[in-house]
Amino acid sequence: MNLVVGATGLLGGEICRLLAARRKLVRVLVRATSDHNKVSQLESLTVEIVRGDLKDRSSLDAACQGVSAVISTASSTLSRQEGDSIQTVDLEGQLRLIDAAKAANVSHFVLISFPHTDVEFPLQTAKRKVEEHLKGSGLTYTILQPTCFMEVWLSPALGFDAGNAQAQIYGSGENKISWISYKDVAKFAVASLDSPKARNAVVELGGPEALSPLEVVRIFEQSKGRKFGVQYVPEEALRQQKETASDPLQQSFAGLMLYYSRGNVIDMQETLRKFPVQLTSVREYVQASM
């Protein structure tokens, strides 16, 4: 039995779909307040639904019973509900889940994180503490650290509105990023369950090529046959936003934008030798979105 925590999210839902397609037994932890439509979509995959919350240790103990592997994609950053915060979910909640998995003799714990950056912000602090706790737990672990999801960063939610040919760029737009599809991250998560090479491993993940945000804009322009309007958010403005924000989530959003602005190139050659995943390119993503 595989327990997926964060299953109503974009990545968690895709992991459930892949596991179900492989006829793996899947249990998902959802809250009583979770989106009904998303829960119905999970139920259509014939997964086992259990009610619980990362803030409730007893519900985690119950969810982990009889489970061989836990995959956690949970975060408070996109779907916050009352009582959710980086402190209560991304830090304390994940620590509780690891401890519950250990108490239930779970064999393998897969944690979705992100690569280290020299910009300090609350979400990164939480992620690193959780990673270290997992490493020291005695559980067999896999920590996946994907870079920027193209479906998130190249979307209207973050100012990249391809439909209206408008792009918001953080920083100069010249530093390269190994953009990755969340669907490919899901493939790595599922592959790690059965791969000895994933045991007690930290794996940085990126896409098949590194492109600067401005290069990405040009790909969209070529595919759509129209010029994009580009608006820049300077690094200095992002630093000021991070320093003046009183809310840890807003500090973290500014920190993530600074991470984006500085770029992150990940060499995937060795990883792909261990995990033969077919990676999605930005060009393929653009064509599929047209």
Q: How many CB atoms lie within 10 A of CB 164?
A: 10
Alpha helices for 116-234 (secondary structure H) = 122-135, 150-153, 182-192, 213-224
Which residues have C-beta within 8 Å of that of residue 31, sequence separation ≥ 6? 51, 52, 53, 81
pLDDT digits (tens, 9 = 90+) for 115-163: 999 999 999 999 999 999 999 999 999 999 999 999 999 999 999 999 9
Q: How would residue 63 be classed by pLDDT, with cut points 50, 70 and 90? A: very high
Which residues have C-beta within 8 Å of that of residue 4, sequence separation ≥ 6? 12, 15, 16, 19, 26, 27, 28, 29, 47, 70, 71, 72, 73
Q: How many CB atoms lie within 10 A of CB 96?
A: 20
For residues 88 and 74, is the Cβ–Cβ distance under 8 A? Answer: no
Rounded Cα distance, 128 and 53, in Å = 22
Q: How would residue 79 be classed by pLDDT, with cut points 50, 70 and 90? A: low
Q: Per-residue pLDDT averaged across 161-167, rounded?
A: 95
Q: How would residue 34 be classed by pLDDT, with cut points 50, 70 and 90? A: confident
Provide the 3-class DSSP secondary structure of residue 108: strand
- Mean residue pLDDT of the chain comes to 95
